[in-house]
Each structure stands twice: as C-alpha cells, then as structure tokens.
C-alpha cells in the first residue's frame, strides 16, 4: 500500500465528471439546461459525429457578465443558489455549479458570452480543466458553448462511446425531452451540418404532435387537474396510442424530465383498466408543485426526485390521470379512425366456450330528452356480433360482446368500490364437486368471496354449494365462476386478488357473463345497451383495450361511394 495523498485537482474533476458526463448526450443536457436557466427564447444545437466531435449550444439568454467569466468553469461555482434555503426551493435546472467544470475536465470547451447590456462579448477557452484568460469577441447578447473532442484526455472512457448513430440517438432523445417541455421556445437541431429539427414556439399540443407524431396527437386526451398547490397537465395517450415499448413516456416535475418509480407506478395504475397485457401507454405529463415539496438533489443527472408528500402525490397523479382517461361515451364520442385488423382478436374472445347468457337490459325507459343520444338508436344486428345504430353523425357500429363486458365490469367495480358486489340469492343452490383444498380456501376466504358477490357453503367433504352469486351474473354458470375465483384465491391470496389483481379478476368475471355472439337481441335490448354504454366510464374500449364501438360518419360513407356533397 502507498501513503495517503491528496488527488490532483484535474483528477478530482475527471472522477467527478464520470457522474455527470456519461456520453455526448449528457453534455447536451447540461448545456441545454444552462440555456433554459438563462431565460433563452431561441436555442440552437449543432452536433458533429454523434456529439463526440462537437456539441454546441447557442442561446439568446442573459449571458455571463465579464467579472463572472473566470468562475464559469470553476467547480462548485454557481449563480443559481447561495444558501441551503435556496437549495431547498430550487426552481432552476442547475444548482450544483459542477456541469461546466466537469465537462471542461474531459473535453475542449469554448464559451462565448455577452451579457444583455455589455458592449461586446467575451470568449473563454478551457481545456483539460484549465481556463485561459477571456478575450473580447463579437456576438449578439447570449451564450455559445462549444464542447469538442469529448474524452480527448481520457482514452479509456472514449472507448465506451458507441457508434455515431447511437450517440446521436441519445442526443436526439435529450433534445426531444427539452423541446417537449418548452413549447414556448424556438429550437433547432443540426447533425453533421444537416438540419434534423426546426421548431417555432407553438402550443404544447402542437409541439407534442411535431415531436411524437400525428397519431399520438389524434389518439390522446388532454389532462388538466389541480388540487391546492398541485397541478397535472399534458396529454395522455388513449389505448389506441399504446405501444409495445415504453418509448413515448415523458413525465416532468416542475419542468424537469424525471424517471421516478412512484410516478411511474401511479401512471401504470391509472392505465390498468384500459390497457391489456404488456402494452405501454404513451404520454407527456407535467406535474407542477411548490419546489420545496420535492428534492431534486438526489441523483447526479437529476433524473430522480424525492417527494415530501409521496403518498399525496401518488394519489393526486393517479386520480387526475384516471379521470382524464375515463370520460364516458356520452361526453366524447371518439371516432376510432385507427381500428386496424382487430377482427381476429375479437373473434377469439367471442369463441370462448362460456354459457350463452341473455343481455338483460336494465328496466330504464328510453330517454325522453329531445336531444338525440350520442350513440343514436339501434337499426339492426349484423351476424350476431355487431349492433348497427344511427346517430346524428351517421352510422355507429358496436361490438356487443366487448361493450357489454365493459359495462358489466364497470358496474361490478363500482359495487366493489362501495364495499361489495351486489349479490343475489339463488333459489336452488348450485352444488359442485370440490377438492379438500378448494373447500378449505372457500372457508378461509368467506369475506373476500362475499365482497366479490359469492356466497359459498360446504355441502359435503367434497362438495361446495353456491348460495348467492353476483346479481349481474346470476343465471350464468355460477359454479364455473366460483371455481375460477377459488383458483385465483389459491394462486394469489385474498389481499392480492382484491387489490392488485382486482381488474383482471373483474374482467374475467365480466367475460363469463357478457352477451355472446349469435345471441339475437331485440331492438329495445340493443337500445338499452347503447344507453348503458353512454353512461359507462371508459366505454370507448373493452376490458382488453380494444375499441367497443366505431363511428362511420356520413362523410366517411360518401367517400366510400365517391359521392360529392
């Protein structure tokens, strides 16, 4: 072992740089954040060779006054905070006074800056941590920082850089994150001299469409919710905008892009009923709160945060998002213009071998209001699968099984939320054979089963009897339902089944009972189905995330027949 020695200044900086400057994209992130903090309205980015050769950011922000220039590259020198209180309420992107120092330790940096009322600009170069004396330069007010030859003095790190295309991809991600959050600013991005993005200031939704594509814009709903000092706003993709990869998920806290487990969980929960399987939602969401309620000084790249009121934040985000995602059909007759080849999946769902049950309409009378209902009135049934209806806009096509399933599920969910699903006693108990373990599970989980609308009793050492079943499902094969609930309880336990697996469970139950294909419905039954859809939350898609209805407007039909109007 050698003696303990102090590390040279440059080596300290190079080690620290490892945390902040992982790759060209991290340089870009730091430079962009500095431009935002300087109040820039126009930001231009130029990259060469994926950023490894050059990352340059040019802004029209406040600039740096001459006497501060000497400190720009100094470690732990910042203009943004001066005390612990200020750190706790930090509203700027930067606050550590570390980024430029770290970057200068591993690259050649040139900074040209002119403060708003300065007579001219100053230029300052730093290489391997050492800054030279500033020299007068020509420039309009604002700042340009050019970072060249990243890792020129740390070859071991240079080897970790990927291909030019990959590094550019990471830079593009960073650019996109910043540009999405600040649609009020103008941005441009050039790579190897070619313009790859050019964005004028625009409304947030237009910016999202420009960066995430028109399909996202068309298949997303606005989110806007407030509770005291909390605000959540942005765009939430509907199930139709869902993807196979989590590559369109943007969450910002006070303008800062974050990856936070608490927030990710709240979002996932809010989407749980509407997305099936492994589908990933797309969203751009902004959470605003008092900066004192969130600690951003958790991670070197500042992509993790810690909330003071974690539970409250989770609840707020979950409910706000869920509400935005669950408008009833009556409020927003969505036109599912993108229903593509969903046929086979629906057929598969309908082919399940469950007993045929009648769709029993609630005894609600037809509406007496003069205003036509959004989903219109039923005309006929097609091939025992679709209901055709006429509304003001034109023709409505409803997948009756999917729609009914969604209605049943939402009703049972409401019941469960209120304490228990409504039960109906059976005149004749349904007795079925059960293993000893099933009997034990039935006895041990009496309460959970009752919540789910089932009352079971032991009819013999190897027999169980269903005495009451969910009112909405009674008349179906209640023994089969009981068996599948017992299997679920056995595998996951009551707590899980009632909490984390509640939606899957309700979906299964609803699927058991929903009206099957090839069941003839009368016109009043079809109208009742339409009215219930209008009153049901999330009726736009079934429990598996497929659409339940589709609007063909008169214009769509005219187009089909090449008919001008």
Ligand X SMILES: Nc1ncnc2c1ncn2[C@@H]1O[C@H](COP(=O)(O)OP(=O)(O)OP(=O)(O)O)[C@@H](O)[C@H]1O
Angle at 30 (CA atoms; ends 105, 97), nearest 5 degrees? 65
Q: Please state, in angstroms and rounded to a whole number, the distance separating the CA atoms of residues 479 and 483.
A: 6
Tracing tokens 């079809």 back to the chain, one arrives at 526
- 96 contact, one of ligand X, Mg ion, none, CB 5-8 Å limit per kind: ligand X
Region for residue 398 given its phi and psi (left: phi exceeds 0; alpha: psi -120 to 50; beta: otherwise): beta
Q: Please state, in angstroms and rounded to a whole number, the distance separating the CA atoms of residues 467 and 478.
A: 10
Please say which residue, 103 or 506, places its beta carbon nearer to Mg ion.
Answer: 103
Binding status of residue 60 toward ligand X by CB under 6 A: no
Query: How many Å separate Cα 412 from the centre of its chain?
Result: 26
Binding status of residue 381 toward Mg ion by CB under 5 A: no
Q: Please state, in angstroms and rounded to a whole number, the distance separating the CA atoms of residues 473 and 358.
A: 10
Shortest Å, Cβ 34 to Mg ion: 4
Q: How many helices, marked H, and strands, marked E, lie in the chain?
A: 20, 23
Please say which residue, 34 or 381, places its beta carbon nearer to Mg ion.
Answer: 34
Please say which residue, 73 or 286, places its beta carbon nearer to ligand X.
Answer: 73
Residues between 57 and 116 with contacts to Mg ion, criterion CB under 5 A:
94, 99
Piece of the chain touching Mg ion by CB under 5 A; list 33-41, 109-117, 416-424, 500-508: 33-41
Shortest Å, Cβ 99 to ligand X: 3
Among 46, 55, 90, 100, binds ligand X (CB under 6 A): 100
Residues between 15 and 34 with contacts to ligand X, criterion CB under 6 A:
30, 34
Q: Which residue is nearest to ligand X (CB)?
A: 94
Bridge pairing between strands 230-237 and 377-382: unpaired
Q: Please state, in angstroms and rounded to a whole number, the distance separating the CA atoms of residues 250 and 237.
A: 11
Residues between 129 and 148 with contacts to ligand X, criterion CB under 6 A:
143
Q: Please state, in angstroms and rounded to a whole number, the distance separating the CA atoms of residues 335 and 464.
A: 47
Piece of the chain touching ligand X by CB under 6 A; list 91-99, 236-244, 264-272, 319-327: 91-99
Piece of the chain touching Mg ion by CB under 5 A; list 30-38, 336-344, 391-399, 531-539: 30-38
Please say which residue, 51 or 94, places its beta carbon nearer to ligand X.
Answer: 94
Binding status of residue 275 toward ligand X by CB under 6 A: no
- Cβ burial of 396 (10 Å; 0-12, 13-18, 19+) is buried
Piece of the chain touching ligand X by CB under 6 A; list 98-106, 337-345, 412-420, 488-496: 98-106
Radius of gyration of the chain (CA): 30
Please give the helix or strand (H or E) that residue 288 lies within, else none: strand 283-288
Q: Please state, in angstroms and rounded to a whole number, the distance separating the CA atoms of residues 397 and 498.
A: 34
Among 34, 220, 238, 240, binds Mg ion (CB under 5 A): 34
Contacts with Mg ion by CB under 5 A lie at 34, 94, 99
Contacts with ligand X by CB under 6 A lie at 30, 34-35, 38, 59, 61-64, 72, 78-80, 94-101, 143
């Amino acid at each position: 072992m050698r003696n303990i020695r102090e590390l040279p200044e440059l080596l300290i900086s190079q080690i620290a740089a490892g945390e902040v400057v992982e790759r060209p994209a991290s340089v870009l992130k730091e430079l962009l954040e500095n431009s935002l903090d300087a109040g820039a309205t126009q930001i231009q980015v130029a990259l060469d060779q994926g950023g490894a050769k050059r990352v340059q950011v040019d802004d029209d922000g406040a600039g740096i006054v001459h006497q501060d220039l000497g400190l720009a590259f100094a470690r732990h020198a910042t203009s943004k905070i001066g005390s612990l209180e200020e750190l706790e309420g930090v509203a700027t992107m930067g606050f550590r006074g570390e980024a430029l120092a770290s970057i200068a330790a591993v690259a050649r940096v040139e900074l040209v800056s002119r403060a708003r009322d300065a007579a001219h600009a100053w230029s300052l170069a730093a290489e391997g941590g050492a800054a030279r004396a500033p020299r007068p330069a020509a420039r309009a007010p604002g700042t340009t920082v050019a970072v060249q030859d990243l890792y020129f003095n740390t070859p071991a790190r240079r080897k970790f850089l990927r291909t030019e295309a990959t590094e550019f991809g990471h830079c593009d991600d960073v650019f996109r994150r910043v540009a999405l959050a600040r649609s009020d600013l103008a941005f441009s991005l050039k790579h190897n001299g070619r313009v790859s993005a050019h964005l004028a200031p625009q409304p947030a939704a237009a910016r999202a469409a420009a960066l995430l594509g028109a399909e996202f814009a068309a298949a997303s709903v606005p989110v806007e919710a407030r509770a005291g000092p909390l605000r959540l706003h942005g765009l939430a993709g509907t199930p139709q905008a869902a993807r196979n990869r989590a590559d369109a998920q943007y969450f910002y806290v006070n303008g800062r892009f974050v990856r936070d487990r608490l927030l990710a969980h709240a979002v996932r929960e809010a989407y749980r009923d509407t997305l099936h399987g492994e589908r990933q939602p797309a969203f751009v969401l902004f959470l605003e709160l008092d900066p004192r309620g969130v600690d951003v000084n958790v991670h070197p790249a500042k992509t993790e945060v810690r909330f003071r009121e974690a539970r409250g934040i989770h609840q707020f985000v979950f409910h706000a998002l869920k509400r935005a995602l669950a408008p009833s059909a009556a409020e927003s007759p969505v036109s599912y213009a993108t229903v593509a080849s969903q046929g086979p999946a629906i057929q598969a769902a309908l082919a399940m071998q469950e007993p045929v049950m009648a769709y029993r309409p609630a005894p609600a009378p037809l509406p007496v209001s003069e205003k036509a209902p959004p989903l219109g009135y039923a005309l006929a049934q097609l091939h025992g699968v679709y209901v055709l209806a006429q509304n003001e806009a034109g023709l409505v096509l409803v997948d009756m099984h999917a729609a009914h399933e969604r209605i049943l599920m939402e009703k049972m969910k409401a019941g469960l939320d209120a304490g228990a699903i409504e039960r109906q006693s059976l005149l004749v108990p349904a007795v079925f054979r059960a293993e000893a373990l099933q009997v034990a599970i039935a006895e041990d989980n009496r309460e959970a089963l009752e919540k789910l609308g089932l009352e079971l009793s032991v009819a013999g050492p190897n027999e169980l009897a269903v005495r009451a079943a969910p009112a909405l499902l009674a008349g179906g094969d209640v023994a089969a339902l009981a068996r599948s609930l017992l299997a679920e309880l056995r595998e996951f336990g009551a707590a899980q089944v009632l909490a984390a697996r509640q939606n899957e469970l309700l979906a299964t139950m609803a699927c058991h009972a929903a009206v099957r294909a090839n069941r003839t419905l009368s016109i009043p039954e079809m109208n009742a189905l339409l009215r219930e859809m209008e009153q049901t939350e999330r009726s736009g898609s079934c429990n598996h995330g497929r659409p339940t209805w589709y609007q063909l407007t008169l214009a769509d039909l005219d187009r089909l027949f090449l008919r001008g109007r």
